[in-house]
Amino acid sequence: MNLLLWHVHGSWTTSFVHGKHRYLVPVTPDRGPYGLGRARTYPWPDTAVEVTPEQLRTADVDLVVLQRPEEVDLAERWLGRRPGRDVPAVYVEHNTPKDGDVPNSRHPMADRDDLLIAHVTGFNELFWDTGATRTTVVDHGIVTPAVQYTGELERLAVVINEPVRRWRVTGTDLLPRFAEIAPLDVFGMRVAGLAEHLGLPPDRLASHDDVPQHRMHAELGRRRAYLHLCRWTSLGLSLIEAMSIGMPVVALAATEAAMAVPPGAGALSTRLDTLLDAARRFIDEPAQARRAGERARAAARDRYGLDRFLADWDRLLEEEVCASR
């Protein structure tokens, strides 16, 4: 099939475009949020093809993968066809509700009979009110990182995008407590200057801004443990990637993390003292860290494997295209 989708979430899209289809990715001269084109820091196959808005007018598109409400109108303008009416459409919901009205949050695609909402976690499906719109869940899948855990550095790794802007949502405010136990390495987008924002000396928190995925994975695997302190996000793919590398995880038991991190793969709790104790234990006892990491790796590769993810999506896409004929 020819699938139209925008480059919105780098890690998720990297997994998605590893399937058997042809992926049309809009590109604009400014490479802005609606024309980012192919990824530059993630490895994408050649079947992910950049297309301009002008080219889309005559493009053969079997299905539109929507990820933001405004893409409905944008797709109609660029394609000359209405998603859900003239061409099948699936709306992928990556996020937890952010409107402040949980648990009564209405999804922007609620009460539609012309598309399917595919949630990336069961938690998201539970907390969004989608009315009469059909929904399903396709759990995340990842391209297995080509690195192995060593844990040689007595440091804690974190991956957060925009930690200053998102602050309590991503648990940025909690980082100083863990920096008392071991130095932190924070990877992600717009992480530069984070130590200064938190009032931490540079020897307690180092920022690694927008590092290419393969390099980030290699660096993560050298750190003793992985911190996941998100209060209210969906399920970060970096958590799954860290587990798949073989890292023990120290995670808040919030949103879908409670389902992703099994017993023995690290520490999962809503009590900060419990997580601080676990981080200290992993720093002090590398053998225990390695054992927990082995359980984390087995769990991540079993549940979040790429083959399962792509097979689930193939079934869903084929059903939606066939139903429209």
Residues 6+ apart with CB under 8 A from 63: 1, 3, 4, 87, 88, 89, 90, 317, 320, 321
Going by pLDDT thresholds of 50, 70 and 90, the confidence category of residue 115 is very high
pLDDT category at 89 given cuts 50, 70, 90 is very high
d(CA 165, CA 255): 20
pLDDT score, position 10:
86
pLDDT given at position 202:
94
Helix (H) or strand (E) holding 25: strand 22-26
Structure tokens at 44: 């994408």
Which tokens sit at 243? 């587990």
pLDDT value for 213:
86
Question: What is this structure's pTM?
Answer: 0.92
Mean pLDDT of 161-184: 96
Confidence at residue 100, expressed as pLDDT on a 0 to 100 scale: 84
- Please give the Cα distance from 194 to 164 (Å, whole number): 7
Say whether pLDDT at 313 is over 90: yes
Tell me what percent of the residues of the chain surpass a pLDDT of 70: 100
Bigger pLDDT: 104 or 322? Answer: 104
Reported as a pLDDT band with limits 50, 70 and 90, residue 131 is very high
Rounded distance, CA 24 to CA 36, Å? 12
DSSP symbols for 166-206? HTTTTTGGGHHHHHTTS-EEEEETT-TTHHHHHT--TTTEE
CB-CB contact of 66 with 94 (8 Å): no
pLDDT reported for residue 65: 98
pLDDT at 41: 82
* pLDDT of amino acid 236: 87
For residue range 211-255, what is the model confidence (pLDDT) as tens digits?
988 899 999 999 999 999 999 999 989 999 999 999 999 999 999
* H or E element at residue 236: none
Structure tokens at 45: 């196959």
